[in-house]
Amino acid sequence: MSGDGAASVPGPPSPDPHGIRGMRERAELYGGVLTAGPREGRGFAVVLRLPISEDGS
């Protein structure tokens, strides 16, 4: 999945640890990026990108 058409959900930190904002906050804790939004046509895409180290750990 390429993440094309994914939208960001901006805003302050959520007091509720669930949902897209909570997932994005947890991704950022590990240096990752989460995008989510409607896909072109139909459906919904959630894309998580996390960095990995050179040694794979």
Considering only CA atoms, which of 35, 37, 39 is closest in space to residue 27? Answer: 35
Question: pLDDT, tens digit, for every residue of 18-53?
Answer: 788 889 999 999 999 999 999 998 999 999 999 987
> Which position has the token pair 């997932």?
23
Q: What is the DSSP string of 5-51?
A: T------SPPSSS-HHHHHHHHHHHTT-EEEEEEPSSS-EEEEEE--
Please list the residues that pair with 25 across neighbouring strands: none
**pLDDT surpassing 90 at residue 7:** no
Kindly list the domain boundaries of the chain, sorted by start residue.
1-57
pLDDT of residue 53: 79
